[in-house]
Amino acid sequence: MPPSLPPSPWFWSEKCVDGYKHDDETTSCTPCPAGTYGECDSASERCYCIGCDTNSEVQPWRGQTYCVLCNGDQNGIPVMCDDPEFINVAEGYFRPDGLHPGLSLDRSDVPCQSNILTVSCPTNDTYIDLKRKPVMAVPCPWGRASCKGGTGHGDTSCADGHEGLFCATCKENWYRSSDKCRKCPENLGHATTITILFIALGVVVLGLMALYLRTASASPDGSHELLGDCFPTVARALARLPPSTHRQVSAPRPRARPTALPCPRSNLLYKVCLPPPFPWFSLQISATFKIGLGLVQCLSTLRSFTKVRWPRTFVVLIEAMNVVLIEAFAVVPAECIVGTCPQFEPMGWPASHGE
Average pLDDT for residues 25-37, to the nearest whole number? 95
pLDDT of res. 9: 86
Indicate the pLDDT class of residue 150, thresholds 50, 70 and 90.
very high
With respect to residue 192, please indicate whether it lies within any of the assigned structural domains.
Answer: yes
pLDDT over 80 at 192, yes or no: no
The CA angle 169-114-73, to the nearest 5 degrees, is 75
With respect to residue 45, please indicate whether it lies within any of the assigned structural domains.
Answer: no
Average pLDDT for residues 14-38, to the nearest whole number? 94
The residues facing 31 across adjacent strands are 20
With respect to residue 333, please indicate whether it lies within any of the assigned structural domains.
Answer: yes
Comparing 6 with 8, the larger pLDDT belongs to 8
Indicate the pLDDT class of residue 327, thresholds 50, 70 and 90.
low
| Interval 259-315: pLDDT, tens | 444 445 444 444 444 444 445 555 677 677 778 777 777 776 676 666 677 777 877
With respect to residue 71, please indicate whether it lies within any of the assigned structural domains.
Answer: no
Task: Provide the mean pLDDT of the chain.
Answer: 76
Tally of domains in the chain: 1
3-state helix, strand, coil in the chain (%, to 5): 30, 15, 60
Comparing 284 with 135, the larger pLDDT belongs to 135
The string of DSSP codes covering 290-347 is HHHHHHHHHHHGGGG-TTS---HHHHHHHHHHHHH---GGGTS-HHHHH-SPP-PPP-
pLDDT of res. 310: 74
pLDDT of res. 243: 55
206: domain range? 188-250+279-338
With respect to residue 86, please indicate whether it lies within any of the assigned structural domains.
Answer: no
Average pLDDT for residues 101-121, to the nearest whole number? 86
Residues with Cβ within 8 Å of 336's Cβ and at least 6 positions away in sequence, in order, are 173, 175, 184, 185, 188, 191
Comparing 53 with 199, the larger pLDDT belongs to 53
Span of 103-117, 119-133, 166-180, 269-283 with lowest mean pLDDT? 269-283
With respect to residue 96, please indicate whether it lies within any of the assigned structural domains.
Answer: no
d(CA 274, CA 259): 9
pLDDT of res. 287: 72
Task: Tell me if 86 sits within 8 A of 133, measured CB to CB.
Answer: no
pLDDT of res. 232: 67
Comparing 173 with 279, the larger pLDDT belongs to 173
Q: How many CB atoms are located within 10 Å of the residue 24 CB?
A: 10
pLDDT over 80 at 337, yes or no: no
Comparing 219 with 100, the larger pLDDT belongs to 100
Average pLDDT for residues 52-65, to the nearest whole number? 95
Residues with Cβ within 8 Å of 309's Cβ and at least 6 positions away in sequence, in order, are 139, 140, 141
With respect to residue 223, please indicate whether it lies within any of the assigned structural domains.
Answer: yes
Indicate the pLDDT class of residue 336, thresholds 50, 70 and 90.
confident
- Percent of the chain having pLDDT more than 70? 66
Q: 179, 171, 167: which is closest to 137 by C-alpha?
A: 167
With respect to residue 197, please indicate whether it lies within any of the assigned structural domains.
Answer: yes
pLDDT of res. 341: 53
